[in-house]
Chain A
Amino acid sequence: MTMTTPRPITSALDARFKPTLYARVGKENSFTLESYRADGGYEAVQRAFALGPDPVIDEMKKSGLRGRGGAGFPTGLKWSFMPLKDGRQHYLICNADESEPGSFKDRYLLTEDPHQLIEGMLIAGFAMRASIGYIYIRGEYVLGAERIDAAIAEARAAGLLGKNVLGSGFDFDLFLHRGAGAYICGEETALMNSLEGLRANPRLKPPFPAASGIYNLPTTINNVESFCAAPHILRYGADWYSSMGTEKSKGNKLFQISGPVARPGVFELPLGATFREIIYDFAGGPLEPIKAIIPGGSSTPMMPWNDAILDTPMDYEAIGAQGSMLGTGGVILIPQDYCIVNATWNLVRFYAHESCGKCTPCREGIGSWMTKIYEKLVRGGGKPGDVELILDMSDNIAGKSFCALADACLGPVVSSIKLFRDEYDYLIANGKSQYGGRSRWAEE
């Protein structure tokens, strides 16, 4: 008899799939310490204390968790970059800036289960010998800030933060820092400048944050969802975690869906679940014909609406093979009768507004030229050759900017031209689009 390894879990409909990140959402007072503890909260960090810092990092590595902030860097590996006993203060930062259009998963982790995040940061701090943590939350998340602040106070009063956490000998304290409306603050080095009270321009890398981050000291920064995965990995084990997902994309993830669907929202699925699953089984299907899918937040290239794409597993590799990216898992559906040039212009405008102005390719390329030419197109003043000009500009900007913001803008630009060149041409030839550029607004 041959031993067969169990089939990996790649669907949230699979009876073996049990959501964890959002499992407590919807419970009364889910955000209180009492409620969190009643569900076994803060047991994982005790397990971490019993294991010791290095085995915790090993467990994180073994789990296969990759950063959920968009770039997908292996979390355990990142944690292992922090210098060992170098005698300096180590910092931990939670990136709760969540500003990539289409992304709204961290928001409910913050408001509904703040202790899950605090426990995740405690585990990370212990593993990386960091005794101070900051949660950088975008300024607009008012309820999130209130809930996090209250949870920090509760945790401090219960001896879960402060000196000698739970008698372990480990000191850890945590503070909240509120942002003020700038997308670039989500970029990790810009975030550090912002936290230091400076203009949030990105910093040159290297040095990487693990060598020199906030206040020039060793720092590790992770996304909210990455930290929130840690207590579950410690509690149920790396093998449980990696039983979900595909070969190189392990675990569960929060996927968001917005645009014209019956039930927009956030769904917890194993990596490798298909677009069809989230769109139809969970979001109830589109409300009108769709032409494009933005798979993982506004910076990820658009994909066409067809069966092959709908059946593509949502994991880093499979979406990559289709020419796009998993990103933050923020799916946006663009309806058939919404002008694609207008939709793209909306995003170009966003990135132009958010360009920090530090480097020329982004400030001039995106902030000025790209914006002007798109504005001209949607106003009906496009000329033959404009599309070639956009592509040429894109070529000149790609990979040449200081941080990834300019490239993020090119995602929708280049992909929309590739997929919907006919719409650009029609708009240029006729001075107006064959589709509307405004959506109907619900009366009631």
Chain B
Amino acid sequence: MSNPNNPRSSSHQHTLKVGTFTCAWCGLTVSTFAADGTRRNHCPSCLHSQHVTDHVEGGTSECRARMTPIAIAVLRTGDWMVIHRCVRCDELTSNPVCTDDNQLILMRIAVRPLAQAPFPLEAFGTL
């Protein structure tokens, strides 16, 4: 969400000017809207994002640092959300998965806790 009272939000070149943004991690040029019309907040290829919204205070964030995808959350509907963490200020955000997001990377994030469990999982026969 951009703050209309903030003059800086109009100079937000990457997302507003031409309907594309450049991924801060892999450099891919990404269209701001996915094919189904949903607004993208992360790169569909590497799933990295950029810290442009302040979720604690609201409005635009001056941080602008890269945000790494760190976790998958599941909504009651069964849909997946990507949790991002800002590499500079540690702010966390959650955003819906787009249909053309890289499924292998999504799955890698989803299984990572089980692949690096702090205790043997053999003890848990049924869940």
A and B form one complex: no
Could you list which residues of chain A lie within 8 angstroms of chain B, going by C-beta atoms? none
Residues of B within 8 A of A (CB): none
